[in-house]
């Protein structure tokens, strides 16, 4: 079994890719996967610009709210998304554990912010779409 066989085929999205109507890349992504459901990641969410950045947290009270997508062809999707997300400078893609709305814990890929966050405003709700600063 190759390492690729053990990698997740799910993607946790929490920002500009949440809504397929939001931008062309979101529409492209949603044509290549299906919605599994709501999920949360143990992390903190920050305003970077007109998009958020998530970082991992050791505090179980910290959560980033998003959606879990099952990808049809992860290798193809990630070759495009890595460019869109600015990997490896702006974001880095890594597998993490997320909790679904049904209480299941699953492995999924996430794009984590790869720069310092100390000067960024935190989105304490962990919810990009419902944060007042983005409406």
Residue range 70-123, pLDDT digits in tens: 999 999 999 999 999 999 999 999 999 999 999 999 999 999 999 999 999 999
CATH code where residue 26 lies: 3.10.490.10
For residue 85 the two structure tokens come to 């997300």
Residue 129: closest CA among 23, 16, 4, 7:
16
pLDDT, position 7: 78
Q: Average pLDDT for residues 48-73, to the nearest whole number?
A: 97
Residue 16 lies in a domain: yes
Residue 66 lies in a domain: yes
Report the predicted TM-score, pTM, of the whole model to 2 decimal places: 0.92
Residue 123 lies in a domain: no
CA distance 47 to 60: 21
The CB-side HSE value for 94 (13 A sphere, CA atoms) comes to 12
Instruction: Return the CA Rg of the chain.
Output: 14
pLDDT, position 1: 39
Q: How many helices (H) and strands (E) does the chain have?
A: 3, 8
Q: Average pLDDT for residues 62-70, to the nearest whole number?
A: 98
List the beta strands (DSSP E) in 1-135: 10-13, 33-41, 43-47, 52-56, 64-71, 91-100, 105-113, 121-122
pLDDT, position 3: 43
Residue 133 lies in a domain: no
Residue 126 lies in a domain: no
Range of the domain at 37: 3-118
Q: Average pLDDT for residues 36-40, to the nearest whole number?
A: 98
Q: Which of 27-41, 59-73, 121-135 has the lowest mean pLDDT?
A: 121-135
């Amino acid at each position: 079994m190759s390492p690729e066989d053990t990698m997740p085929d799910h993607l946790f999205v929490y920002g500009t890719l949440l809504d397929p109507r939001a931008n062309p890349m979101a529409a492209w992504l949603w044509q290549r996967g299906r919605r599994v459901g709501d999920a949360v990641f143990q992390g903190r969410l920050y305003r970077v610009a007109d998009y958020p950045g998530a970082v991992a947290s050791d505090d179980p009270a910290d959560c980033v709210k998003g959606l879990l997508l099952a990808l049809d062809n992860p290798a193809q999707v990630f070759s495009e998304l890595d460019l869109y997300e600015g990997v490896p400078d702006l974001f880095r893609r890594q597998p993490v554990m997320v909790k679904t709305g049904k209480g299941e814990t699953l492995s999924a890929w996430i794009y984590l912010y790869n720069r310092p966050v100390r000067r960024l405003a935190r989105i304490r709700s962990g919810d990009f779409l419902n944060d007042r600063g983005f409406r």
